[in-house]
Structure 1
Amino acid sequence: MTGVTLQGAIKKYGETQVIHGVDLQIEDGEFCVFVGPSGCGKSTLLRMIAGLEETTGGTINIGSRDVTHMDPAKRGVAMVFQTYALYPHMTVAENMGFGLRMNGVPKAEIEEKVQKASSILKLDQYLKRKPKALSGGQRQRVAIGRAIVRGPEVFLFDEPLSNLDAELRVDMRVEIARLHQEIGATMIYVTHDQVEAMTMADKIVVLRDGRIEQVGAPLDLYRDPDNRFVAGFIGSPSMNFLECDVVDGTLTNPAFSAPIPSPIALPQSQTKVTLGIRPEHLQLDHSADQLTIELTEALGGVSYCYLGGIGDTRLIVEERGDDRSPEGAKVGLTIPAERIYLFDPDTGARIR
């Protein structure tokens, strides 16, 4: 069993603390994604697991071994970086087997492992090519192959698709997900792209300012966020938020023509809440005229209407079907109470 366990993991640069006592259990064979905005500490945490960043406090275990202060080469991990870092003068096969050759592995064994990895990654026909003769996606597969031949206990991916165009990113997402299913190894993947996180992960770890905001399966985080930050970060387009007054158990806001019953019983002291609602759960009411459709993005099977008219607040409504609401139209909104999320306006915590 080769899971990864972090207990009270801390990272400081001088007096500045960037990782604040992270506790995390990643199970054997799990595909875990660290996600969050730039500067949240996700790459730092990954590099701490790899041993490329010194852990200031706490412990890191890989399987049953305490690797907190162990040399990176002895941790049983392989890392795939954002940059391919391939040797331009070497062939694909030589790049993939270079690490083994440096460790004195017999030539026949290197060839066997390279051939097996190239078969998994569909690189057989490119083994004699040099990196300059490969596409970006092929180079990234070579970098992954170089990790596979080492036979690591844990694979670490640090934003490996950031340099690829949109189509290649989709293709490589599928490739990496298929690779995980095929070899069954523990994988930890860092990205700022929540779409990558939602489509690839068994478990998502949402980070902000060096702390874990929530851990869970992708759909669990989407359907049951613990706070406003997670609710707004997971989902594309992001959740709509409106500040509402609480009056006799109902929620009022100028965006709605009538008060909305609160989906839960609120305490008497709660006079204001932040209402959250996803774009697919809002419906346009063409008989009302509180809001203006400022922009419509038609994406084929789905469109997104951007509504204005409530100060600086902008709302997004998803529309499906062939009929599209025209820009400039005056509309209102209807909302099913059971789809509402409520958050404390001061702390951002979910009100349940």
Structure 2
Amino acid sequence: MSGVNLQGVVKRFGEVQVIHGVDLTIEDGEFCVFVGPSGCGKSTLLRMVAGLEETTSGRIHIGTRDVTREDPAERGVAMVFQTYALYPHMTVAENMGFGLKMTGHPKAEVAAKVREASRILKLDDYLARKPKALSGGQRQRVAIGRAIVRGPEVFLFDEPLSNLDAELRVEMRVEIARLHREIGATMIYVTHDQVEAMTLASKIVVLRAGRVEQVGKPLELYHNPDNRFVAGFIGSPAMNFVSGVAWRGGVEAAGLGGTVVTETDLPPGAVVVGLRPQHLHLAEGSTHRVEMTEALGGVSFIHLTAPTGEKLVIEAHQDLHAQPGSMVGLGFDAEKALFFAADAEGRRLR
């Protein structure tokens, strides 16, 4: 197995630059997730590692090899796509072993590798079936098995769970995490779903508009985001943001009902205050309008509109159901507040 190193990687389509000088090191055996909104460049970056997109400039190394100009088949990677791309006339075993068969591997070796992949993915009972007789989750496991039999240095996953329903997505997340623990391979996984990123990754790369915003372990990004974009993207429900003003005596935010903190070393001027939903709570008063309550059993999410028109979400772990249209008061844990610059960059201030 091998790590992956990107050095100043750039991608242009004609005059349009979509990847802007990405530097990134993925260690041997890491599970690295590229996450970001649609159009941020995460799939393009993955396809550049795979060799399916040409690198305009910069270098890509897999292990000790410079693979920047190598063909995909020579890079030692295997890719699992969003669509299963299985041959409908072939059995599960034939689908998994087809790549090795086409490259001239002996039948006995192909059969042995298929059996091992089947054991890992719990597909032994389905080897004689054809894809039409499989569920969506089973088809995706076959697609993963096809990658495993190749024995790649690096596994690449391009939104592999997007076509599955919610229950199967949870099941397959568990399967992929178990697969990584069992075989210990380097894996790069692309998703726009930050829940998948938080639950699977040992390292998350947050991308926006072809640039890396922050790299770190899931909880590092959750607790210590570098900027407002990362803070708002990592975490579900998203962090609440309200406009505030810093001055010598503290920080005021009308959307939170007044004073946030009474002492601060922030420079005077406009700031954005960030609070996660679990750090807000209902209080006495009638300052905020209830828009709706999502009562999910063990947790409720109460959606509010502040007097300023700003939207807020409270996470409550009691059986609360605030009536839509009613007015409530708002409290918060000031020690958990994060402060960001009010400009477009939104860098973390404290």
2:108 is equivalent to residue 100 of structure 1? no
Secondary structure at the counterpart of residue 255 of structure 2: coil
Q: How far 1:214 sits from its partner (Å)?
A: 0.2
Number of the residue aligned with 2:238: 238
Query: Which of 250, 273, 277 is matched with 1:279 structurally?
Result: 277
Number of the residue aligned with 1:71: 71
Query: Which of 339, 342, 350 is matched with 2:336 structurally?
Result: 339
CA distance in 1, matches of 2:71, 2:9: 17
2:191 is equivalent to residue 191 of structure 1? yes
CA distance in 2, matches of 1:127, 1:256: 59
CA distance in 1, matches of 2:199, 2:262: 32
Secondary structure at the counterpart of residue 297 of structure 1: strand
1:104-132 CA-to-partner distances (Å, cap 9, x unmatched) read: 00000000000000010000010000000
CA distance in 1, matches of 2:251, 2:331: 13
**Partner amino acid for 1:220?**
E
Structure 2: where are the runs of 5+ without partners?
none
Q: How far 1:340 sits from its partner (Å)?
A: 0.4
**Partner amino acid for 1:171?**
E
2:292 is equivalent to residue 305 of structure 1? no
Query: Which of 290, 294, 297 is matched with 1:293 structurally?
Result: 290
Higher mean C-alpha deviation, range 239-248 or range 83-92: 239-248
Number of the residue aligned with 2:82: 82
2:343 is equivalent to residue 325 of structure 1? no
CA distance in 2, matches of 1:320, 1:102: 56
CA distance in 1, matches of 2:197, 2:41: 16
CA distance in 1, matches of 2:5, 2:135: 37
**Partner amino acid for 2:296?**
L
Number of the residue aligned with 1:250: 250
2:5 is equivalent to residue 42 of structure 1? no
TM-score by length of 1: 0.97
Number of the residue aligned with 2:346: 348
Q: How far 1:325 sits from its partner (Å)?
A: 2.9
The alignment covers a number of residue pairs equal to 349
For the 8 Å contact 1:8–1:21, the answer to whether it is kept is yes
C-alpha distance 262-40 of structure 1, shift in aligned 2 (>3 A): farther
Secondary structure at the counterpart of residue 294 of structure 1: strand
Higher mean C-alpha deviation, range 252-261 or range 304-313: 252-261
Secondary structure at the counterpart of residue 332 of structure 1: strand
Secondary structure at the counterpart of residue 37 of structure 1: coil
CA distance in 2, matches of 1:311, 1:349: 23
CA distance in 2, matches of 1:288, 1:12: 55
Task: Note the aligned Cα RMSD (angstroms).
Answer: 1.2
CA distance in 1, matches of 2:263, 2:74: 53
Secondary structure at the counterpart of residue 275 of structure 1: strand
Q: How far 1:264 sits from its partner (Å)?
A: 4.1
Higher mean C-alpha deviation, range 193-202 or range 243-252: 243-252
Number of the residue aligned with 1:202: 202
Runs of 4+ with deviation above 6 angstroms? none
Q: How far 1:323 sits from its partner (Å)?
A: 3.7
Higher mean C-alpha deviation, range 47-56 or range 310-319: 310-319
**How do 1:258-277 residues align onto structure 2 when only pairs under 5 Å count?**
258-261=258-261, 264-267=264-267, 270-277=268-275
Q: How far 1:253 sits from its partner (Å)?
A: 2.5
Higher mean C-alpha deviation, range 325-334 or range 98-107: 325-334
For the 8 Å contact 1:228–1:350, the answer to whether it is kept is yes
Secondary structure at the counterpart of residue 9 of structure 2: strand
**Partner amino acid for 1:33?**
V
**Partner amino acid for 1:277?**
L
CA distance in 1, matches of 2:185, 2:296: 37
Q: How far 1:249 sits from its partner (Å)?
A: 2.9
For the 8 Å contact 1:205–1:215, the answer to whether it is kept is yes
CA distance in 2, matches of 1:214, 1:202: 14
**Partner amino acid for 1:350?**
R
For the 8 Å contact 2:300–2:320, the answer to whether it is kept is no
CA distance in 2, matches of 1:138, 1:37: 28
Secondary structure at the counterpart of residue 290 of structure 1: strand
Number of the residue aligned with 1:143: 143
TM-score by length of 2: 0.97
Higher mean C-alpha deviation, range 239-248 or range 118-127: 239-248
For the 8 Å contact 1:263–1:337, the answer to whether it is kept is no
For the 8 Å contact 1:30–1:185, the answer to whether it is kept is yes
